[in-house]
Structures are given as C-alpha cells and as structure tokens.
A and B are shown apart, each in its own frame.
Chain A
Amino acid sequence: MSRLRAAWDRLWFAPAPTETLGLVRLFVGLTLVLKFTGVWGIYRGWGALNLRLPFHDGLQHGRFRLPVPGFDWLPPMTAASQRLWDGLALALAVLLTLGLGTRAVSVGLALLLLYALLESQFNYLHHVNVYVWVICIFALSPMGDHYSLDAVLRRLWARARGLRPVRPIRPILYQRMLQVFLSVLYLTTTIGKLTPDWFDGSIFGALANGGFLKGPFKATLLGLFPPMFMAWWTLFAESLLAVGLWHPKSRRVTAWCGVALHLGIDAMMNVTTFSYLMISLYLSFASPATGQTSLSVDPGQPLSRGLGLLVRALDWTQRIRLVSAPGPMRLHSPEGEVLGGVHALGRVLGLLPLTFMAGLWVDLGLGLLRRLRPPAPIG
C-alpha cells in the first residue's frame, strides 16, 4: 500500500519546473485566437487566412431549445448575447495567449466555453468539448509562471523591491493532468474506431460520399493513399499517441506521427482549429527544464555562426543554451550525448518549434546512418 502511495505521489506530486505549462498555454491560446478569428483549415487553401473579427457562427437554435439535461436553468443564448459571447471569447483568448491575468482569464474562458457546450446540445462539437476540458485544466493550474506578461510583471515587481525573481518549482500535477487527459482521449477515440468499417477502410469511402471530406487536396490525398491505408494509419497513429508520448525514446516519433495525422485531417476536413489544438497539447510532454541542451559555436566559422543566429531567432522555447567557443561546433544533450556536424544540426532543428518536423527527418536519417556507420567518438 505504501509503495502504491509513493508511486501515486511520484506520478502527481513530484516537483517540476513550470516552463512546459507556459508553453502549452501560449500555443493553445494561439489556437483559440485563430478559432475566434475564423483563421483555420488547410482544406480551405488560401481562404483559411480570411480574418473575421470576431468570428460569428450564428445561432444554433431558434424557438426550439435543447439544453443538456440538468442545465435547463441556463439563460438561452440570443443573437445579442451570442455577439457578446463571441467578442468576449476572442478578448479572453488574446489575454490567455499573452498571459495577462492568466488564472482569472482561464476561469472566465472555461465558464464561457462550458456555457456554450451546456446551453444547447446543438452547440456540441468535438473540438469545443476538448477546449472545455483543456481550459478547465488551465483554470486549475498556474499557467502564467512563464512566457507571460504576468511573469514579466512579477519580475518587474520583484526588482522594484530589490528582490531577486524566483523560478517556481511546483508539483508536476498540472502538467500530468494535460498528459493523462490527452492519453485517455486518444485511447477512447481508438477504441471507438475498432469497427469493421475502419478495419476494411470503407469508412473513408463513406466519409467522402457523406460530404465530410472536402477541399482542393482531397482528390490528391485520396489518390495517393488508398482508404485501407488511411484507416490503418489513423488507427496506428491514434493508438501510438495514447502511449508513445510517455517514453522519451518514442516521444519524438510519436509526436511526428501526431503532427502528420492532424495535418492530414486538417487538409481534408472542417475541424476548425482542432488539429492545431491537439498538436499544441503534445507540448505538455516537453521536458519542463529549459536550456539543458548546450551548443558551442565558433563566431569565426560561418556555418557555426549561422546556426547560432538561427537558434537565437527561432529558439522561442529556450531549449538551447548557446556557448561561444573557438573550434568545431559541439552539442551537449541533457542525456550526456556529445554531437558535432550534421548530427548536431539535426538535433538543433528538432528542438526548434518551426523546424521540428524537418529536424526529426534529419535525426531519423542520421540515426539510421549511425547504425550503419557509427561516427567517430567526440570529446
């Protein structure tokens, strides 16, 4: 019993830095801003960039109203209150992204989304449901410790009083809630798809006939990938995402599968910002500590100096600590690896949010190469 309790405490209450929470908040907030401004959907081509401020979806019900059982007491949404809802939701999404008044904003946003979900059964959409869960977890968590205006203000406040700003170490609980939620979600959706129509791939033909697949890329993607492949790829990726993010060795490949899966969905289906939300949630598995990878660059060497500049410009999540040193470029990973040349370049690309996908390809390719021809030891 005591061992079980110790394991429970380790799982939920082990101390951890909170940079990851800030990162997840920043990206999830951004997806909400995109949602409430109508900017989404690869399947829409350039039309995805049409900005609508705020995005107004129109009333879902008229005189016939169908609240979720037990929530008949909620005031019905009117055309005026829906416009207010839209404006307020966009304003709170912007504040959440900036991290200003983060806790209060998260609570406000959670209440707004919950109201929309419960006020009418016709308001239900999968991605709204996922947002409700995620923002409710945000409302219970300190999401503004990092990458936020709250953090900047706290630092200024501390300095004004001659105090040294501190880096909060909190229970890992908040990050774990996001991780467990994500895993249960993928597990449930995989179990739901264990049907004959998914096994034989006919679901994709049915989805196409039903008008669920759309956009200019539909024909190309359906031509490139047979329905059976698409169905099994979905089942494989979703089941992998339920477990693969937990282990450091499978994390990057799993995240890559998730990104590919959701970009594929976004290229053919109207799921608004659902794909971007799910991809953002993978960040909850990012190592919470920043600056644990160090890269030594030689300012005298053009390639080395260029990589240093790239890291300065694109390392928004502060994963890499730059060290200026003469000699060949060296990357020291948190796991104790020392990498040089293209191996270091591949790892750096994999750590930057914008080049994550390319970095994984380089890393995978080089990993295969390393197995065939191991590089000479460095350092």
Chain B
Amino acid sequence: MGPPEQLALGPRARAAWSVALVLIFGLQIGLGLRSRLHDDDRYGFAMFHEFTRYKIDYQWRLVDGSARKFSFPVALPKRSAAVRGGRHQVEVFGAGTTRLQLRGALRYLWAAHRPDDAVAVEAVYRWRRNDHPEETVEQLRWPPEGGP
C-alpha cells in the first residue's frame, strides 16, 4: 500500500455526524429502556434475562354479558404460533412480548372474525416467570370498555 492519504471531515460534516451519533446511540439506549418498561426484550438488548410459561384462552364477550370460548380461527405457522392459545407455551422475550402480541391479535380477531352477537373479544393470559409457581392472570380486551 502507498502513502497515507488524510480524508478528514469538514466542520459541517462533523456537526452533522455529531447529531447523527447522538440520535443513533440515543435510539439504542432508548430501545433498551423501552424493553425494560414493557417487559419485552425485543428490539432492546436484554437477552435471555428470563422466559415465561403461559397459556392464552380466547373468548367473545356477547351482548347478553356471557362469554363464548373459541380457538384462533386461522393457521399460525412458525413463531406466529406464539398467540395460538389453548395450550401451554414458552416465550423467551418476556411477559410483555406476549401481552403486546396479544393486543395485535385481538385487534385482528375483532376486525376479521367478529360474530354478530359479540361486543368485544377477550384473551385470558395466564403466565409465570421461569420456574416460579406464582401465576399472574390478565384479561385483555378489544375494543376496551367505553370504545377504542
């Protein structure tokens, strides 16, 4: 290789890069904080900090106040099977990951598969951390009480 050639950045390029660097690493740290806040390791970098064992049961809330259980009405291949429900499953990214995916699933079910007599779609989400026996039960619903 020949003699060195200096390819320095001018003051404006340095200023622009400085702003870009703050944004880039601000985003990296921000995504890390988001994953802590939502208990959802995805897009952050807290890898394998815990996993959850969970079970989801879906039900339609009907006009008369009763509930009708149902299975996820379409095939869910590969990792999308995480929201299939009706059986015990394992999630490696945290309890919040399933919660957020369930919200998306409920919106889809409401938009694409709502029966005429339903006022909402609900998911009963039971989960526990690692091998701990304590179970947490959450009821998620779409649309929420009082409308979306």
Contacts and interface: CB of A to CB of B under 8 A. Distances in A.
B75 A192 contact: no
Interface residues of B, number: 53
Contacts of A177: 21, 24
B39 to A, nearest CB: 11
A189 B14 contact: no
B79 A122 contact: yes
Interface in A183-219: 184-185, 188-189, 191-193, 195, 197-198, 202-203, 205-207, 209-212
Interface string B57-82: 00000000000000010111111101
Interface string A4-15: 000011001101
Interface string A161-199: 000111111110100010011001100110111010110
Contacts of B79: 60, 122-123
A182 to B, nearest CB: 10
Contacts of B108: 64, 66
Contact of A198 (B7, B49, B77): B49
Contacts of B83: 64
B78 A193 contact: no
A189 B5 contact: no
Given A66-B101, A122-B78, A197-B130, A188 B45 contact: yes
Contacts of A63: 74-75
B41 interface: yes
B140 interface: no
Given A12-B18, A205-B131, A165 B2 contact: yes
A176 B146 CA distance: 51
A374 interface: no
Contacts of B8: 13, 15, 170-171
B139 interface: no
B49 A193 contact: yes
Interface residues of A, number: 55
Interface string A104-140: 0000000000000000111110100110010000000
A48 to B, nearest CB: 21
A8 B18 contact: yes
A62 interface: yes
Contacts of A198: 49
B76 A61 contact: yes
B111 to A, nearest CB: 11
Contact of A203 (B25, B36, B47, B130): B130
B3 to A, nearest CB: 6
A147 to B, nearest CB: 11
A64 B79 CA distance: 12
Contacts of A193: 46, 48-49
A124 B82 CA distance: 12
A64 B17 contact: no
Contacts of B5: 166-169
A145 B17 CA distance: 20
Contacts of A64: 72, 74, 76, 80, 83, 105, 108
Contacts of A184: 25, 28-29, 32, 45
B131 A202 contact: yes
B74 A164 contact: no
Nearest to B103: A66
A188 B30 CA distance: 11
Contacts of B17: 12-13, 171, 173
A212 B2 contact: no
Given A189-B46, A192-B41, A17 B78 contact: no
A12 B21 contact: yes
B58 to A, nearest CB: 12
B101 A126 contact: no
Contact of A202 (B41, B82, B130): B130
A123 B78 CA distance: 10
A198 B75 CA distance: 36
Contact of A192 (B18, B49, B130): B49
B90 A203 contact: no
Interface string B1-36: 111111111000010011001001100110010011
A192 B9 contact: no
Interface string A138-169: 00000000000000000000000000111111
10 contacts: A12-B18, A13-B14, A61-B77, A124-B42, A126-B45, A167-B5, A184-B29, A185-B28, A188-B29, A207-B51
Given A8-B18, A167-B5, A193-B48, 11 more contacts: A13-B14, A15-B8, A57-B78, A64-B83, A64-B108, A129-B43, A165-B2, A173-B9, A189-B47, A202-B131, A203-B48
Closest 10 CB pairs of A and B: A192-B46, A206-B130, A166-B5, A192-B49, A188-B45, A61-B80, A188-B32, A122-B79, A206-B131, A164-B2
